[in-house]
Chain A
Amino acid sequence: MGRSTMPPALLELSNPSTPEAQLTALRNLKNDIVGHEQRKEHAVEHGVVKALALLLRTNTAKRRRGAHVSGLPVEDELRFQATLVVGSLAIGGPAFIPPLLAGQVVPPLLEALAPAETPPQLLAATLRALDQLVDAAARGTGDEDAITPHLYTRPVAARLAEILAQPAPASRLVHQQRSLAARLIAKTCREQAHRKLLLDQGVLDLLAAHMAAIAAADDPSKGKKHAEPSIHLADLLDAISAIVKDSHYNTARFVYSPHIQSLFAWPKGTSGTGGSWDRLIPRLQTLQSKSDPYTKSWPALGSFAENPMPPIQASSSRSAVSDESETPLFTWLMFAARRGEGRERLAACWLLALLKKFGERWSLGDPTKPTRERHFSYLVVPLVVKMIEEANAEKLNALDPADREEMNLLVERSPLVLAELVANNKTLQSAAVDAKILAVLVQVLKKSFEPITTSTKPLWQPKSSAPAVRDPLVDVASSTMGRPGLGADLVHAYKCRESALLALAAIADSQDPVRKTVIEMGGAPLIIDSLVPSYAAAIGVNSQSVIKSPAMPKLGNPESVLIAACKVTRSLSRSVSVLRTSLIDHGIAQPVFDLLTHPNLKVQIAATEVITNLVLEVSPMRTEIIEAGALATLCEHCRSANFDLRYGSLWALKHLCLGLPPHMRRKCLDTLGVGWLKQVLNGEPLSKAAPLGMGTPNAAGEQVDMLNAVDEPHMDLDEEPSSSEDESSMIDGIPSLRPLPRSGSRYTSATNIRDRLQQIKSDEQDVSLSSERDDIRIQEQALDFVRNFITEDKASGEMIDHLLNEFNRSEFFELLDSKLRPKGAAPPSSDPASQSTAGAGTTASSYWSPNSSRLSSFTQSAGATPQPNWAAYPATDLIIASLYILVHLANGRPSHRSLLISQTSLMQHILPLLTHPRRDVRLPCAWFVNNLVWEEDSSDAVPTRKRAQQLRALGFEEGVRALSRDIDLDVRERARTAVEQLGKLLSGDSRYTSPGGNTVVREGIGSGLGGFRGLGGSHQGR
């Protein structure tokens, strides 16, 4: 037995005599290699892969021609056995993947995924073999998953859909096939292209239908049924989540799919309640009366044994929460999460987290934010927290292999679910902290660094292995083992580390006390250790035994962990005190800086985002990083082909620039290149046909398109469609203004749904829209960079001069002007000459168009005219950023102030902004006027009075007077100072200045305001 039996079986396989003999050989081979890695390796080295591929393929070909076969004739049995052998080889690990791929084993397996042609057992075995191949490949050291690309082709996706579409008899095999197909999807669907392919093939609809079928059994209005809760639910939910993740459109397709809509429709006429579905979860509401029917369904003893909820009636009775329900779909998923355990619970929570994110962006008749938060923080977050705790407390060695596998998965995945749930939501973050999750996560992190003790010892060999004598006839590629990859335990440790880091990053995202707690619990050194990249070479060269040895040296971290570590570092560095204490104590700067030049682009981006916070003026690491040469690296990255890196690097530079000595700033601008900056400020060339894009007809056409999306007004552009966590604090002020329908409009009719889907789709997939959005985001950074560039502690105006010299002066003002005027109001912009060279005068006259007539009427009767059409303006953030540049320009020397006022067109375009609905726009306007009428010294008296007169002529006196009655205190106070000063100047008493008032203004500009925007605004922005 053992080795000795191998050659005969292999011999028979490579030189088949009869199918029967072949079959016997194949079965013997299989029995031999199961659970025995050395024999698997041996078989591969003797060329078994080619033989297997041949068996899988020839029979496929025969099948095509052959008659319909029932049962399993010899050919099918051969294929079946060959498939089982392939699966068993794959269990051997990543080393088996290269020979299997080289031997062309995968294509015939994929061919076999045809329920109409392939016998059901064979189909199930094929799916299982693919699943094992995918598992093995996932443990490999290569970046790319070798199997996935084979799966995501149109024919294969269509076959997967076919498998899912099979009618469901009472056969376990069909259920099993579906489940396996769903699992395969859940494991491999990672890219948008994959998701789109599956969506196009109808896979998502089929999965939704199956889910709805399972959910229907729980429908309280339909009475009791005897269907058992399906064991396949977890796979279905995971597959759905994999397809809807990171895509609002895909999520919408799921939510609005017919099966989901018909089952989970809101009952008519009962707005605000989820109808009978409500009965599935405890009601989280105000006082419960004694006759409450719910107390019957939810007796005090607790009908759900695993219900970990604290008694909530007490707290809910105090805070008068509206009597609102969750949507039925959410309700059922919460019910499923509470009822199920293990993977099923996790899968339900994961889908809930993804749907919640969608609901935040595209409300679908969702309840109000407090209601949702309440449900999530009482019903979902504690569940996940408990799952993390329990999964990590489990003694793994005491479990069956199947249970252990599931438990490992829970340990790896549950923190990710928590991270997704609490992302960008303070209430839920607090709920997680209250559930005492931080200590657990830090513990998980710590454990992931422990040397791996459960390493499997190699099998004992009866004979010392003779040096392999290669059969020259055996194909080399398909008989050479690949790299052993990482041990399963090590991969598990990495995954745990990554998910714990991500969960910490999400929870510590917004609250300082949480960040401090993480540090106090000893998180910092662990995070620093997670920032050390791995030495890929060490893994590549090492033999399997070394990898698995318990004395394994610290191998560093794979890229996914590095990225996660960067994220948590970024979260923590938002706290100035943590930044100044723990992070510097642990020397965070160097490892992060090193990652800036990591070969992987995603790591670079993540590191850049951390650097952004570390180079702030308040950061003690600033000097260290600058001395290490960050400036050059960041400038170089600004020219990267990757938008995110470009964007992040410019953001970091913006922070870096503030407070830098003048010569360094000049160097920074030189390295960055004025030409490049102009290009960015004018709009990305990539997304625009013409170099000076903003005013070209082409660009204008795009604007019109965008505006036609009626429900999708401009302010939403400020928000990133996905992964918006970066900008969370930048957009804090916006949601209140978001004109999306929060409730009431429930998209029920078919046409409504179609429109809605179309809207979501174009928002997400329209290339011009998204490049437009990116363009605005990076322009904003560029504008902020300019602002910080000219910001000085002592207003010497030196940097302003430098900037105006470097830029063409008129070009610079035209550029600012273009950000402040309505887009349609620039007809001459088609004339490139006026765009690039026109002085203020010429443009002003050419702007005498519909909008400016309104403008003039505005000047006459300040504020009484109808509001300008704000939708026609550039993105509000661009307006604000441009205004702050002007504020700082006006803070320069008196000559700068005069220069500004002489820009007639610009000034005329600023005036209507004084009535902008957002205080964020009005405030810099008030500052601007304030600064313009500032009198530097006695020699400046005459010019100042002249400026005041010019301002009056332009209509600013009226405008600022209106602002002095603003509802916002800041705006009001600033405007009052300006009005006062204007009044003094214009009344002729120029010599009198109130010292007190002026000091306030000075300080406000120098540190308060400049600091507010430069630091406050972007400081917490990462």
Chain B
Amino acid sequence: MSSSTVSVSAPTPTQHHPFQRKVDEVKPSKPDIDFLVMDYLISHGYPDTAMEFTKEAGLALVEDESIEARVEIRHAIHKGDIDTAINKINDLDPQILDKDPALHFALLRLQLIELIRSCTSAPGLDITPAINFASSQLAPRAATNEVFLKDLELTMTLLIFLPSTDLQPQLAELLKPQLRQEVAAKVNEAILISLGARGEARICALYRARLWSEKQAREAGKDIPAVMPLGLEPSPVQSNGNGEAADVMVQ
């Protein structure tokens, strides 16, 4: 959330470039900025912050019935409680998973990983639940798609290696919280779309448009500063403001 506090007027070496002067002339209206921030908070699921922000900025609260559910689902996924998450998603709208086998499979695989993790957490535990789950839930679906099958096979190898502190990077990936975060973000987007909203915050689109237009301008040889930092990069001076930076925002 640090992005919303970034100061636009951070001193940069390009301050006196004619383009920069033009930029300075543009005064973004406060309602516009507030709208963007609010939009981000709502769509990425920060109800409390949104509430606070509403009070601070004196905005009308946009009622969004799904926000609580989305927060709960995200927490459940982050926690590894996939069963609850799937339950809640299906309560909102079963077609989210019904029509998106890939997302469904990703969730079920997370659930399998958790099962494997728990039944291998101590030696001598029964691994049957994990195997049962894999054969009843994932195996049928894996047969429909090559990618699913590979993913399942990879996941099942965890059963062999766990517990271990020295996993292959490929396998270690599966246990990292990042995987959960990725899936949670996809779920959030899918829910928003199913509810007839935009899948991502508008600022993401703006950010991409910004990168795209800079690229276009450079290709066309327009007179713009050599470096145009957005202030989102870890160290603004070094970053050249293209490509990779997108991940910071969009993650």
A and B part of one assembly = yes
| A residues whose Cβ falls under 8 Å from a Cβ of B | 1-2, 27, 30-31, 34-36, 38, 81, 84-85, 87-88, 91, 120-121, 125, 128, 132, 169-173, 175-176, 179-180, 226, 228, 231-232, 305, 400-402, 405, 456-462
Do the beta carbons of B195 and A87 come within 8 Å of each other? no
B118 to chain A, nearest CB (A): 17
Give the contacting residue for A91; candidates B32, B98, B137; CB below 8 A: B98
What CA separation (Å) do A355 and B197 show in the bound complex?
A: 29
What CA separation (Å) do A38 and B137 show in the bound complex?
A: 12
Do the beta carbons of B100 and A400 come within 8 Å of each other? yes
A-B contacts, 23 listed (Cβ < 8 Å): A1-B136, A27-B90, A27-B91, A38-B140, A87-B95, A88-B98, A125-B93, A132-B95, A170-B62, A172-B66, A172-B196, A175-B196, A226-B35, A228-B35, A231-B197, A401-B101, A401-B103, A402-B99, A402-B199, A405-B99, A459-B141, A460-B142, A460-B144
A26 to chain B, nearest CB (A): 11
Asked if B211 is an interface residue, CB under 8 A from chain A, the answer is: no
B30 to chain A, nearest CB (A): 11
CB closest chain-B residue, reference A175: B196
CB closest chain-B residue, reference A461: B140
Give the contacting residue for B197; candidates A172, A456, A459; CB below 8 A: A172
What CA separation (Å) do A2 and B141 show in the bound complex?
A: 12
CB closest chain-A residue, reference B102: A401
Give the contacting residue for B31; candidates A226, A402, A462; CB below 8 A: A226
Which residues B194-212 have CB closer than 8 A to chain A?
194-199, 202, 209, 212
Which residues B118-139 have CB closer than 8 A to chain A?
132-133, 135-137, 139
What CA separation (Å) do A847 and B87 show in the bound complex?
A: 87
Do the beta carbons of A34 and B104 come within 8 Å of each other? yes
Do the beta carbons of B65 and A121 come within 8 Å of each other? yes
B184 to chain A, nearest CB (A): 16
Residues of A within 8 A of B90 (CB): 27, 30-31, 34, 84
CB closest chain-B residue, reference A28: B87
Residues of B within 8 A of A27 (CB): 87, 90-91
Do the beta carbons of B93 and A462 come within 8 Å of each other? no
Which residues B162-178 have CB closer than 8 A to chain A?
none
Asked if B77 is an interface residue, CB under 8 A from chain A, the answer is: no
Do the beta carbons of A459 and B94 come within 8 Å of each other? no
Do the beta carbons of B196 and A128 come within 8 Å of each other? no
Do the beta carbons of B101 and A457 come within 8 Å of each other? no
Q: A31-B86, A172-B63, A231-B197 are in contact. Are A457 and B143 (CB under 8 A)?
A: yes
- Dominant secondary structure of chain B at its interface with chain A: helix
Do the beta carbons of B65 and A91 come within 8 Å of each other? no
Do the beta carbons of B136 and A128 come within 8 Å of each other? no
CB closest chain-B residue, reference A132: B95
What CA separation (Å) do A84 and B60 show in the bound complex?
A: 32
- Dominant secondary structure of chain A at its interface with chain B: helix
Do the beta carbons of A458 and B144 come within 8 Å of each other? yes
Do the beta carbons of B104 and A35 come within 8 Å of each other? yes
Do the beta carbons of B139 and A88 come within 8 Å of each other? no
Give the contacting residue for A34; candidates B97, B144, B145, B199; CB below 8 A: B97
CB closest chain-A residue, reference B42: A172
Do the beta carbons of A35 and B198 come within 8 Å of each other? no
Q: A35-B101, A231-B198, A459-B141 are in contact. Are A84 and B94 (CB under 8 A)?
A: yes
What CA separation (Å) do A169 and B104 show in the bound complex?
A: 33
CB closest chain-A residue, reference B98: A91
B41 to chain A, nearest CB (A): 15
Residues of A within 8 A of B144 (CB): 456-460
**Additional 11 contacts, C-beta under 8 A, given A84-B90, A88-B94:** A27-B87, A30-B94, A31-B86, A87-B94, A91-B95, A120-B65, A128-B93, A172-B196, A402-B199, A460-B140, A460-B143
Asked if B116 is an interface residue, CB under 8 A from chain A, the answer is: no
What CA separation (Å) do A173 and B64 show in the bound complex?
A: 8
CB closest chain-A residue, reference B212: A305
A180 to chain B, nearest CB (A): 8
| B residues whose Cβ falls under 8 Å from a Cβ of A | 31-32, 35, 39, 60-66, 86-87, 90-91, 93-95, 97-104, 132-133, 135-137, 139-145, 190, 193-199, 202, 209, 212-213
CB closest chain-A residue, reference B143: A460
A959 to chain B, nearest CB (A): 71
CB closest chain-A residue, reference B149: A460
Give me the 8 closest cross-chain CB pairs, A-B, nearest first: A460-B143, A2-B136, A1-B136, A459-B140, A88-B94, A401-B100, A91-B98, A460-B140
Residues of B within 8 A of A180 (CB): 196
B77 to chain A, nearest CB (A): 16
B236 to chain A, nearest CB (A): 26
CB closest chain-B residue, reference A402: B193
Do the beta carbons of B61 and A170 come within 8 Å of each other? yes
Residues of B within 8 A of A456 (CB): 144
What CA separation (Å) do A652 and B24 show in the bound complex?
A: 73
What CA separation (Å) do A31 and B136 show in the bound complex?
A: 13
Residues of A within 8 A of B137 (CB): 1-2
What CA separation (Å) do A38 and B139 show in the bound complex?
A: 14
A94 to chain B, nearest CB (A): 15
Residues of A within 8 A of B94 (CB): 30, 34, 84-85, 87-88, 91
Residues of B within 8 A of A457 (CB): 143-145
B141 to chain A, nearest CB (A): 6
What CA separation (Å) do A715 and B84 show in the bound complex?
A: 71
Give the contacting residue for A31; candidates B66, B87, B190; CB below 8 A: B87
Do the beta carbons of A171 and B65 come within 8 Å of each other? yes
Residues of B within 8 A of A461 (CB): 140
Residues of B within 8 A of A176 (CB): 195-196
A163 to chain B, nearest CB (A): 14
Q: A1-B132, A35-B104, A169-B63 are in contact. Are A84 and B141 (CB under 8 A)?
A: no
Do the beta carbons of A35 and B141 come within 8 Å of each other? yes
What CA separation (Å) do A175 and B142 show in the bound complex?
A: 37
Residues of B within 8 A of A120 (CB): 65
Residues of A within 8 A of B140 (CB): 2, 36, 38, 459-462
B21 to chain A, nearest CB (A): 17
Residues of B within 8 A of A84 (CB): 90-91, 93-94
Residues of B within 8 A of A171 (CB): 63, 65
Residues of B within 8 A of A401 (CB): 99-103
Residues of B within 8 A of A81 (CB): 91
Give the contacting residue for A35; candidates B39, B98, B132, B213; CB below 8 A: B98
Q: A34-B90, A171-B63, A171-B65 are in contact. Are A1 and B196 (CB under 8 A)?
A: no
A2 to chain B, nearest CB (A): 4
Residues of B within 8 A of A1 (CB): 132-133, 136-137
Q: A30-B90, A87-B94 are in contact. Are A172 and B195 (CB under 8 A)?
A: yes
What CA separation (Å) do A120 and B65 show in the bound complex?
A: 10
What CA separation (Å) do A170 and B50 show in the bound complex?
A: 15
Do the beta carbons of B60 and A170 come within 8 Å of each other? yes
Give the contacting residue for B196; candidates A132, A231, A405; CB below 8 A: A231
A333 to chain B, nearest CB (A): 22
Residues of B within 8 A of A132 (CB): 95
B95 to chain A, nearest CB (A): 6
Do the beta carbons of A402 and B132 come within 8 Å of each other? no
Residues of A within 8 A of B199 (CB): 402
B25 to chain A, nearest CB (A): 15
B251 to chain A, nearest CB (A): 17
What CA separation (Å) do A633 and B135 show in the bound complex?
A: 62
CB closest chain-B residue, reference A227: B35
Give the contacting residue for A462; candidates B64, B65, B136; CB below 8 A: B136
What CA separation (Å) do A405 and B96 show in the bound complex?
A: 13
What CA separation (Å) do A128 and B92 show in the bound complex?
A: 11
CB closest chain-B residue, reference A35: B104
CB closest chain-B residue, reference A401: B100
Residues of B within 8 A of A405 (CB): 99
What CA separation (Å) do A305 and B213 show in the bound complex?
A: 9
Residues of B within 8 A of A228 (CB): 35, 39, 202
CB closest chain-B residue, reference A86: B94
Residues of A within 8 A of B32 (CB): 226
Give the contacting residue for A170; candidates B31, B63, B101; CB below 8 A: B63
B191 to chain A, nearest CB (A): 11
Q: A1-B132, A231-B196 are in contact. Are A34 and B98 (CB under 8 A)?
A: yes
